[in-house]
Structure 1
C-alpha cells in the first residue's frame, strides 16, 4: 500500500518512522503497537486507558463485539452524503472515536465504504436496486456498537432488519487473562 493510501486510513508513516504515536495530543490515544511478546505488552491490551482495550460482554472476555446488520427493503441507499452523515451519527451514538470515513459511489448505483475508528470500524455496502444494505459494526473498548442498530433503522427505514453478533478474539482473551 502506498504512503498516500496509509495516510487516507489515518496512518502517518513519517510520524511512525520518527517514533511518534500521536500527532495531536488532544486527539484519540494511539492504537499503534510494536511487536513485543512480553507479558507486559500482552497485558497492555487489557488496560482501560486505551480506546481499543479488550472487553467483557455476556460474561466473555473478548476483543470486541462485531455486529452483522442486514437491512431489507431499505431507502436512501444511494445517497452518499446521507450515508456519510448516518455513519457519523452511528459513531457518535456508540461513543466511538472517528478517525476517517471513505465512501465510494458505484455506477449506476450503490455505495461501499468504511468509517475507521480508534475502536475498529463500521463498513457499508449497498444495493439500492434490491433495497438491501450490509453493515458491519465492529467495536472494542467502551464503545457500544448495538446503539448503531437503531440509528440505521431510523435512517434507512428498512421493512426488515437482521442482526447477528460475534464476540471477536475470545481465544486470545482466554490465553492472556
Structure 2
C-alpha cells in the first residue's frame, strides 16, 4: 500500500477558523449563498451543492460540498461567534476562501489554524 501512495501526488490545506465579536445580520439565505459562492470563486474552489439549516436562535449551519472537498460554517449568535472549516485540495486555496469570509463577517478577533494534509513529494 505504501508504494501506491508514492505514485499519487496529492495534498490539501485545511483551515480551521474561529471568529469572535461578530454582529450577526438578519438571516438572508440568498445573500449567504452568494457570499459563500464569491469566497469559493476567490479561492478557485467549485461548489457542487450548498445546504443551510437555520435555527430558532438566529444561528445557522451551512455546508458546501466542493469539487475540491468541503466548507462548513457553524454560527453561535448567542456567543457572537462563528466556527469555519475549509478543506481544499488541488489548485484551490482554502486561505483565500477564509479571507473572503473574514471580510464578510468582520469579527472583532479571530484565530486560524492551518493544517497541510496529504503526501508530499
**How far apart are the structure 1 equivalents of 2:91 and 2:75?**
28
Segments of 5+ residues of structure 2 without an aligned counterpart are: none
Kept in 1, the 8 Å contact 2:45–2:66? The answer is yes
Residue 75 of structure 1: aligned partner: 23
- Output one character per residue of 1:151-176: Cα deviation in whole Å (capped at 9) or x when no partner: 1121111000111001123xxx26xx
- 1:10-29 matches, cutoff 5 A: none
More strand by share: 2
Is the partner of 1:101 in helix, strand or coil? strand
Q: Quote the Cα distance in structure 2 between the aligned partners of 1:88 and 1:115.
A: 9
Q: What is the TM-score of this pair, normalised by structure 1?
A: 0.60
Who is 2:58 aligned against? Answer: 109
Conserved in 1, the CA contact under 8 Å of 2:43 and 2:92? yes
Flag structure 1 segments of 5+ consecutive residues without an equivalent. Answer: 1-36, 47-53, 55-62
Equivalent residue pairs, number: 119
Is the contact made by 1:75 and 1:131 (CA closer than 8 Å) also made in structure 2? yes
**Post-superposition CA distance 1:101-159 (Å, at most 9, x none):** 01110113211121111100110100112110000010000001111232112111100
Give the number of the structure whose alpha-carbon radius of gyration is greater. 1
92-101 or 143-152, which deviates more = 143-152
Could you say what the CA RMSD is over the residues aligned between the two structures, in angstroms? 2.1
Question: What TM-score, normalized to structure 2?
Answer: 0.85
Determine which structure has greater relative contact order: mean sequence separation of CA pairs < 8 Å that are 6+ residues apart, divided by chain length.
2
In the other structure, the counterpart of 1:65 is 13
